[in-house]
Chain A
Amino acid sequence: MGFHAVQEKTATVMGKAIIVMEKTIRELMSLRRLAVAIIAGLIPSVFFGTVIWRESFRSGVMSLEMQTHTLVGYFLLISFMWIGGFYIAYMIIVSGMDFVSKEEEGGTLLLMVSKPISRFQFILGKSLALLLTTLLIELVVLFGSIVVFWALLELDPEIVRALLGLLPWIFLYSVVVAILFDALTIAISALFKGQVLKTALSMLLVMLVFGVGSILRTVWPSTYENYHLYYIDPSYHLGNAYVSTTVQAESGRMTPQIQAYLGIFTGTYKAGMEETMLAMFTGSSASFDPDIRAMPPSLERTDYLTPLLSVLLCLAVSAAALGATKVAMDRKEVY
């Protein structure tokens, strides 16, 4: 098949998928859904801005540099753990888990499969709509979080600029997370029936992606390294991609405390028990001072794999999930 033939085929496949995508976007962009999603996304920023940091930032005990390092570091952590992590995963799972079953049980899938559109084009359109709306909301929440911090902590413009500088890189990383969860959620939606089963699988998936790696690294650190378990550890791959992406930002340098946290959660930094304790119990903004050597200025990266390989593995898993979705959709009998 020549290049033009491939191009033409891609355009045909995408053409029908885009029609489904447009309709699904209209459904997903309801005012109520947007409001709930954005409010949920901003909760940690509001919480930290009002309950945890308000006093320390307003009292003037921290220098501008320290304020910047502290806020940038914790914003990176919140973005990884929540905005670009659990939040994005749950938003996709909640919206996409019923994509196929809703159409199937509602009877609308029968008319759709009688039309000249392949089942994969149909599900691809829905999947793209979910991806795009999620990323749009993600962008709003990321930007909104900075606005929340600015308003609540009365930040210096320089800090705001530093935070804004992180935004494109965090967003770029979010694209990888969104693609991964979008593909996995669509696969669950196509492969399984039953709300309880799908919910349980989705929860298991989130735990598997974000939680299992931390447990393995903490309980069996040598086994993790000796048996190269990082290859199958999604949290490592996501962390590896995140750290490598965000350091591209001028303001993306992390404090050792934040590196330690990311080391614990993702394995991208060599964060042993000592660093963990320091991060957990003395890891406040005041503990970071390279001069007093409370922690080393920067923790060592594990560098098990290159960030590109981690991203490629995430994308490969997404492609495999989409492949499974295609097979499941093609074999599905619609009554």
Chain B
Amino acid sequence: MDNSLMIETRNLTKTFGDFTAVDGINLSVQKGTIHGFVGPNGAGKTTTMKMLIGAIWCSQGEGYIKGYGIGSIPAKQIIGYSPEHAFFYNDMVASDYLVYMARICGMKRSETRKRALELLDWLDIGGFSERKIGGFSAGMKQRLSLAQALIHEPELLILDEPTANMDPTGRLSILDKLRQLSRERKATIFLSSHILSELEQVVDFMTMIDKGRIVVEGKMAELRKRFSGNHFLLKTSHNETILAAIKDKGLFRESWIDNEDFIHMISDNTTALRKEVVETVVRTGAELEHFSEERASLQDIYRKTMRMEEEG
């Protein structure tokens, strides 16, 4: 067992009759990282998360949370979980609910109320601490769901669509708080989201899942590079001249100039191309305005991966 891993699964599988929802996934989530878990609807994200928290049992395989078997009490002590759609005891007031959850997590009664109020404040719903949960909006319930996940200061947060039901301001605020938790408390965060543009702002690692199988995984920086497709962007004062000069060397397989006067070059020989660009610019005396390697966004990675999956 790898001590650097917070979540580790081996051949984790879940079947419902003939349908395989999760198909033998081997998940590795490093301690202290923010790990994105993405995939289309029905890919098996929520089922995987529910197996990790011990709400449902795996049909095959095994999983560990910091070395403890998934579903065990020590594993649950480490986890804070927030589902996509959280349901609460609507007749309870928010602070009482958090106190109850904190005590279930083993916190001392004397510490719980202070902690509950602090958390509600931190999540910007402090003004509603004595209100019944039944009267909360969907966004407030989402924040309360995060609060109950955080109440016992868990080492691992498993968050299923934590920004669902929130407006853009709320979503950004929650993502900021997740970054803060990772930075200040070194918490490991394993989260799913459909809003990839927001997710990519916070995640260090990413696992993409489709039809119950992992299709892509790795460090975000490496994935960005891997999926960039050796795509370079160049802008100079003499685009046509430069492009013609480089073209003669046969260093790229595809090129075009876009509406904003950027030269796009797809190359298989990136080192030679970089060198040639610099030399050509110097030789022609053109003014260099921009030269970069295009980095793939999470959306690009997702789109390409799903296209490859469809094409088999």
Binding site for B on A (CB under 8 A): 16, 19-20, 23, 27, 106-108, 110-118, 331, 333-335
Please give the distance in Å from B146's CB to the nearest CB on chain A: 12
Tell me which residues across on chain A come within 8 A of B87, comparing CB atoms. Answer: 106-108, 110-111
Tell me which residues across on chain B come within 8 A of A106, comparing CB atoms. Answer: 87
Measured CB to CB, the nearest residue on chain B to A122 is B104
Tell me which residues across on chain B come within 8 A of A115, comparing CB atoms. Answer: 76, 101, 104-105
Please name 13 pairs of A and B residues whose Cβ atoms are closer than 8 Å in the assembled complex, sorted by A: A27-B91, A107-B86, A108-B87, A111-B87, A111-B148, A115-B105, A116-B73, A116-B77, A116-B104, A116-B105, A117-B73, A117-B76, A334-B56
Q: When the two chains form their complex, are residues B88 and A108 in contact, meaning their CB atoms are under 8 A apart?
A: yes
Tell me which residues across on chain A come within 8 A of B55, comparing CB atoms. Answer: 110, 113-114, 333-335
Known A-B contacts: A107-B85, A107-B87. Give 18 more (CB < 8 A).
Answer: A23-B100, A108-B89, A110-B50, A110-B55, A111-B148, A112-B104, A113-B53, A115-B101, A116-B74, A116-B104, A116-B106, A117-B73, A117-B104, A118-B73, A333-B55, A333-B56, A334-B50, A335-B50
A169 to B91, CA, bound (A): 38
Render B75-93 as a binary contact track against A, CB cut-off 8 A, 1 for contact. 0110101010111110100
From the candidates A27, A111, A113, name the one contacting B54 in the complex (CB within 8 A).
A113
**Chain B residues bordering chain A, tally (CB within 8 A):** 27
Tell me which residues across on chain B come within 8 A of A335, comparing CB atoms. Answer: 50, 55-56
Tell me which residues across on chain A come within 8 A of B89, comparing CB atoms. Answer: 108
Residue B31 lies at the interface, judged by CB distance under 8 Å to chain A: no
Please give the distance in Å from A121's CB to the nearest CB on chain B: 9
Render B52-65 as a binary contact track against A, CB cut-off 8 A, 1 for contact. 01111100000000
Residue B103 lies at the interface, judged by CB distance under 8 Å to chain A: yes
Tell me which residues across on chain A come within 8 A of B81, comparing CB atoms. Answer: 111, 114
Measured CB to CB, the nearest residue on chain A to B88 is A108
Please give the distance in Å from A199's CB to the nearest CB on chain B: 24
Binding site for A on B (CB under 8 A): 50, 53-57, 73-74, 76-77, 79, 81, 83, 85-89, 91, 100-101, 103-106, 145, 148
Tell me which residues across on chain A come within 8 A of B145, comparing CB atoms. Answer: 111
Please give the distance in Å from A56's CB to the nearest CB on chain B: 48
A117 to B89, CA, bound (A): 18
Tell me which residues across on chain B come within 8 A of A114, comparing CB atoms. Answer: 53-55, 76, 79, 81
Tell me which residues across on chain B come within 8 A of A334, comparing CB atoms. Answer: 50, 55-56
The 3 lowest CB-CB distance pairs between A and B, nearest first, are A107-B87, A114-B81, A116-B76
A112 to B149, CA, bound (A): 11
A117 to B81, CA, bound (A): 14
Please give the distance in Å from A138's CB to the nearest CB on chain B: 25
- Contact (A333, B57) CB under 8 Å given A114-B81, A116-B104, A116-B105: yes
A20 to B101, CA, bound (A): 10
Tell me which residues across on chain B come within 8 A of A112, comparing CB atoms. Answer: 104
A335 to B85, CA, bound (A): 11
Please give the distance in Å from B51's CB to the nearest CB on chain A: 10
Please give the distance in Å from A287's CB to the nearest CB on chain B: 54
A114 to B81, CA, bound (A): 7
Measured CB to CB, the nearest residue on chain A to B109 is A19
Tell me which residues across on chain A come within 8 A of B57, comparing CB atoms. Answer: 331, 333
Please give the distance in Å from B97's CB to the nearest CB on chain A: 10
Measured CB to CB, the nearest residue on chain B to A117 is B104
Q: When the two chains form their complex, are residues A16 and B53 in contact, meaning their CB atoms are under 8 A apart?
A: no
Q: When the two chains form their complex, are residues A20 and B88 in contact, meaning their CB atoms are under 8 A apart?
A: no
Please give the distance in Å from A126's CB to the nearest CB on chain B: 13
Tell me which residues across on chain A come within 8 A of B91, comparing CB atoms. Answer: 27
Measured CB to CB, the nearest residue on chain B to A105 is B87
A115 to B86, CA, bound (A): 14
Please give the distance in Å from A328's CB to the nearest CB on chain B: 14
Tell me which residues across on chain A come within 8 A of B83, comparing CB atoms. Answer: 110-111
Q: When the two chains form their complex, are residues B100 and A19 in contact, meaning their CB atoms are under 8 A apart?
A: yes
Measured CB to CB, the nearest residue on chain B to A334 is B55
A118 to B76, CA, bound (A): 10
A23 to B98, CA, bound (A): 12
A75 to B100, CA, bound (A): 42
Tell me which residues across on chain A come within 8 A of B50, comparing CB atoms. Answer: 110, 334-335
Tell me which residues across on chain B come within 8 A of A16, comparing CB atoms. Answer: 104, 106
Please give the distance in Å from B67's CB to the nearest CB on chain A: 16
Tell me which residues across on chain A come within 8 A of B100, comparing CB atoms. Answer: 19, 23
Please give the distance in Å from A33's CB to the nearest CB on chain B: 13
Tell me which residues across on chain A come within 8 A of B105, comparing CB atoms. Answer: 115-116
Tell me which residues across on chain A come within 8 A of B106, comparing CB atoms. Answer: 16, 116
Q: When the two chains form their complex, are residues B103 and A19 in contact, meaning their CB atoms are under 8 A apart?
A: yes
Tell me which residues across on chain A come within 8 A of B79, comparing CB atoms. Answer: 114
Q: When the two chains form their complex, are residues B104 and A19 in contact, meaning their CB atoms are under 8 A apart?
A: yes
Please give the distance in Å from A106's CB to the nearest CB on chain B: 6
A318 to B76, CA, bound (A): 30
> Of residues B54, B55, B81, which shows the largest number of chain A Cβ atoms within 10 Å of its Cβ?
B55
Tell me which residues across on chain B come within 8 A of A19, comparing CB atoms. Answer: 100, 103-104
- Contact (A111, B56) CB under 8 Å given A23-B100, A117-B104, A118-B73: no
A108 to B73, CA, bound (A): 19
